Amino acid sequence: MPDRRQFLTGSALIAASGAAFIFQPRKDQTALSRSAIDGSVPRKIGFYRQTDARSLISVPENELSRKLYDQVLTRLYMADGLFPIMLVIAYSGAQDGDLSIHRPEICYASAGYALSPTQILPLSGLERPEAACFLSATRWGKTEKIYYWSRIGDAFPTNMRDEKLDILRANMKGEKPAGILVRMSVLSTESLEAQRQLILFNRALLSNLPTTGKALLLGMNAA
């Protein structure tokens, strides 16, 4: 007959096994096709129009970012008298405890950029209060001003810690939430003007999204 210690140990292992089965994520978000993402984002945003000068787009990438995302959309938008804006939208159909969004603070640093401290700003264009991030990245004498935000399910985390917690909460409900990162940037050393133009561009982007675009970028409950 097992003694009391063996009995308690065995009970704990059984309980842990049961909890792991209960909390195992089962609901995966369907991965989107490239055409679905491409068609969900307007080619004209406010004063800006998409151009084909993609060689100007800076997209730091490594094996981790390629593993994390199902689709990455990159575009360059231009308007008279305004900075050209580089737009990158990275989508992942299912987030779990082993994967998470590859934030610019990580991918730019790993590509050799020197980064400024990250500022937390309002996420422009939403009716409900959410937050976005703004920072500078410098390499080889060029400075890129970056305004970005991320969504995990219906949450908009601004740092890795909150992102992991949002993924964990969803996983404990048996869900693998979709994750998306929306990043826009300009090549400029003028921080305040760059920030102003990026905020206005983001507001115009969100206000011009079709229904499919709102579901993709903002989730069903974020409008």
Distance (Å, whole) CA 125 – CA 182: 13
Q: Tell whether the model's pLDDT for residue 57 goes beyond 80.
A: no
The residue with greater pLDDT, 175 or 184, is 184
Please compute the mean of the pLDDT values over residues 67-93 and round it to a whole number. Answer: 86
What integer pLDDT is reported at residue 169 of this predicted model? 86
Q: What is the DSSP string of 145-203?
A: EEEEEEEETTB--SSHHHHHHHHHHHHHTTEE--EEEEEEEEE-S-HHHHHHHHHHHHH
pLDDT band, very low/low/confident/very high, at 25 (cuts 50, 70, 90): very low
- φ, ψ of residue 79 to 5 degrees: the values are -150, 150
pLDDT band, very low/low/confident/very high, at 220 (cuts 50, 70, 90): low
pLDDT band, very low/low/confident/very high, at 200 (cuts 50, 70, 90): very high
Classified as helix, coil or strand, 18 is helix
What integer pLDDT is reported at residue 10 of this predicted model? 47
pLDDT band, very low/low/confident/very high, at 134 (cuts 50, 70, 90): very high
Distance (Å, whole) CA 25 – CA 169: 11
Please compute the mean of the pLDDT values over residues 34-45 and round it to a whole number. Answer: 84
Strand partners, 1: none
Q: Across the chain, how many H-helices and E-strands are there? A: 7, 11
Please compute the mean of the pLDDT values over residues 70-92 and round it to a whole number. Answer: 90
What integer pLDDT is reported at residue 82 of this predicted model? 95
Q: What is the mean pLDDT of the chain?
A: 79
Work out the burial of residue 141: count CB atoms within 10 Å of its CB; fewer than 13 is exposed, 13-18 middle, 19 or more buried.
exposed
Q: Report angle CA 182, 116, 163 to the nearest 5 degrees.
A: 45
pLDDT band, very low/low/confident/very high, at 111 (cuts 50, 70, 90): confident
How many CB atoms are located within 10 Å of the residue 44 CB?
A: 12
Return the domain boundaries, the chain. Answer: 27-218
| Longest Cα separation, the chain | 84
What integer pLDDT is reported at residue 153 of this predicted model? 87
Please compute the mean of the pLDDT values over residues 154-183 and round it to a whole number. Answer: 87
Q: Which run of H or of E encompasses 28?
A: strand 27-28
Q: Tell whether the model's pLDDT for residue 53 goes beyond 80.
A: no
* Lowest-pLDDT choice from 6-20, 124-138, 151-165: 6-20
Here the tokens at position 55 are 């060689």
Classified as helix, coil or strand, 85 is strand
Q: Tell whether the model's pLDDT for residue 132 goes beyond 50.
A: yes
The residue with greater pLDDT, 17 or 217, is 217
CATH number for the segment(s) 27-218? 3.40.1000
Q: Report angle CA 218, 186, 127 to the nearest 5 degrees.
A: 25
What integer pLDDT is reported at residue 4 of this predicted model? 54
Under 8 Å between Cβ of 70 and 43: no
The residue with greater pLDDT, 8 or 36, is 36
